[in-house]
């Protein structure tokens, strides 16, 4: 697989499922990838990336932004509250708003900074105890809290349980977004992004299918 293969499949899935051309954004997930692979994808013209770790992103993207010009980097991994300030300065969007204490911290920072990245609320659709995310039953009150803090919530994000059919999770996330008037849907990874596009994904997060396997951390 390569960037152009994935773009071709993305476009085909948009067409096949009646999605407007260009309505699905491809986030190239570059966490833990060697820098030469990331540079190669930048050299091909791609400008939207995803990272899981604040420290790793801080060591990479300021220099790459200087070298390659305007680009967007989205935080897709769990965010510690004590890294929230650094994350707000580094990222154009945060897909992992997953608890009230983090929402409050982001709201305070946004107030003093006068700006805020686009935010997605991560939903633990599989209700897995070890996984981050707001439980489905808690989502609507949590979104109300976020709105009361004036946070720019633009959508929802999920990571379906491994080894299970992801489609019911995509469908559930799309329903929760629609009922809350949110248009962003961050869902779908290397193995299932076409199903996610069929169910309304606006942001797919694809790592290994673009960059190759990640070496073990
Ligand atoms: C690593 C990661 C991805 C990309 O996974 P691939 O299977 O390599 O496409 C997507 N989303 C999140 C939240 C991730 O942590």
DSSP class of 82: G
Instruction: Specify the pLDDT at position 216.
Output: 67
Residue whose tokens read 């105890």: 129
Instruction: Specify the pLDDT at position 110.
Output: 98
Atom of ligand 1 nearest to the CA of 206: 9
Ligand 1 within 6 A of 117 CB?
A: no
Ligand 1 within 6 A of 7 CB?
A: no
* Alpha-helical runs (H) found in 22-99: 35-43, 54-58, 61-68, 84-90
**Binned average pLDDT, 10 residues per bin, the chain of 217 residues:** 94 98 98 96 98 98 97 98 98 98 98 97 98 98 98 98 97 98 98 98 98 80
Q: From ligand 1's centre to the CA of 43, what distance in Å? A: 22
How far is C-alpha 215 from the chain's CA centre?
Answer: 21
Instruction: Specify the pLDDT at position 113.
Output: 96
- Distance set, CA 157 to CA 34, 150, 183 (Å): 26, 19, 11
Ligand 1 within 6 A of 190 CB?
A: yes
Instruction: Specify the pLDDT at position 217.
Output: 56
Instruction: Specify the pLDDT at position 214.
Output: 85
pTM of this prediction? Answer: 0.97
Domains present along the chain, CATH in parentheses: 3-211 (3.20.20.10)
- Distance set, CA 34 to CA 28, 56, 67 (Å): 14, 12, 17
């Amino acid at each position: 697989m390569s960037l152009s293969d994935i773009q071709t499949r993305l476009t085909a899935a948009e067409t096949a499922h009646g999605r407007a051309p260009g309505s699905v954004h491809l986030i190239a997930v570059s966490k833990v990838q060697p820098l030469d692979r990331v540079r190669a994808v930048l050299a091909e013209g791609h400008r939207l990336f995803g990272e899981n770790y604040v420290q790793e992103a801080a060591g990479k993207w300021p220099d790459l932004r200087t070298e390659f010009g305007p680009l967007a980097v989205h935080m897709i991994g769990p965010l510690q509250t004590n890294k929230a300030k650094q994350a707000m300065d580094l990222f154009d969007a945060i897909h992992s708003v997953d608890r009230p204490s983090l929402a409050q911290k982001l709201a305070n920072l946004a107030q003093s900074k006068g700006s805020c990245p686009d935010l997605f609320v991560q939903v633990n659709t599989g209700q897995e105890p070890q996984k981050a995310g707001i439980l489905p039953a808690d989502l609507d009150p949590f979104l109300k809290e976020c709105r009361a803090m004036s946070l720019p919530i633009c959508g929802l994000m999920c990571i379906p349980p491994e080894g299970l059919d992801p489609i019911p999770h995509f469908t559930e996330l799309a329903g929760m977004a629609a009922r809350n008037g949110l248009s962003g849907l961050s869902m779908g990874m290397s193995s299932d992004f076409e199903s996610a596009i069929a169910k309304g994904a606006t942001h797919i997060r694809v790592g290994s299918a673009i960059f190759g396997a990640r070496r073990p951390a």
